[in-house]
Amino acid sequence: MLRVEDLHVSYGAISALNGISLSVPAGAIVTLIGGNGAGKTTTLHSLSGLIRAARGRVHFAGEDITALAPHHIVARGLCHVPEGRMIFANLSVAENLAMGAYLQRSPAQIAAARDYCFSIFPRLRERLRQNAGTLSGGEQQMLAIARALMSRPKFLMLDEPSLGIAPRLISTIFEKIVEINRDHGTGILLVEQNARLALEISTHAYVLETGHIVMSGPSRELRNNAQLKAAYLGS
């Protein structure tokens, strides 16, 4: 579904990604873990067209999307839920969801997508007329994911979905990610500092350090890797 080949990204003279390659099979959850400054967010920004790669290729569903603008990438079914949620704080929950459907033209499909969002996140139905900026951190993350789902994506990229959320809601958010993947076979590339949780729900993982992929493999194997456990799992 997603294939990245030899991706290089720089911010001026500073190199952020140094030839990373990764792939996500259709219907899989793959996680990208690493410390602060490793290049995780830069990876997602480059895949969604927000940052231009200096070198390398990005293929999605068999098409080279490396040079496409972000809205064309979304139109092809690849949607990005950014770090920090980036909801429209002064708009209502309903208006945020409508913004997520801006490329959709069928009222029936928009209604179906909204109903699906409410089935995944019932709390959003209760907050429909509430300004998004007044929601809790967990509710804002639910809204950010639901807004992406309104585009009816084939593939989701989630950047730090547990960031700034009360601990009691983190497991709920991860359960919902698994549910979204299971319901429609939506592929997911998950960037997450909570490596333990990310490895529990994913099938495959890549470890990124200073712009390089330094380790990869099935998540169940990496959970038991002594080096990874010492660096990221607290044991």
| pTM score | 0.91
Amino acid letter for position 205: A
At 163, the pLDDT band (50, 70, 90 cuts) reads: confident
Coil, strand or helix at 94? helix
pLDDT at 232 over 90: no
* pLDDT value, residue 171: 87
Q: Structural domain boundaries of the chain?
A: 2-232
Angle at CA 43, nearest 5°, toward 40 and 48?
Answer: 130
Pairing of strands 204-209, 187-191: unpaired
* pLDDT value, residue 230: 77
Per-residue model confidence as pLDDT tens digits over 200-224: 999 999 999 999 999 999 999 998 8
Q: Which residues make beta-bridge pairs with 81?
A: 158
Pairing of strands 204-209, 212-218: antiparallel
* 26 vs 228, residue with greater confidence: 26
pLDDT at 16 over 70: yes
Q: Which two tokens stand for residue 215?
A: 């380790």
Per-residue model confidence as pLDDT tens digits over 174-194: 999 999 999 889 999 999 888
Minimum mean pLDDT range among 12-16, 38-42, 211-215: 12-16
Q: Which CATH class is domain 2-232?
A: alpha beta
* pLDDT value, residue 228: 80
Among 22, 3, 17, which residue's Cα sits nearest to residue 205?
A: 22
**Helix or strand run (H / E) with residue 102:** none
* Angstrom distances, CA of residue 225 to CA of 20, 193, 210: 21, 17, 20
Residues 56, 4 contacting (CB under 8 angstroms) = yes
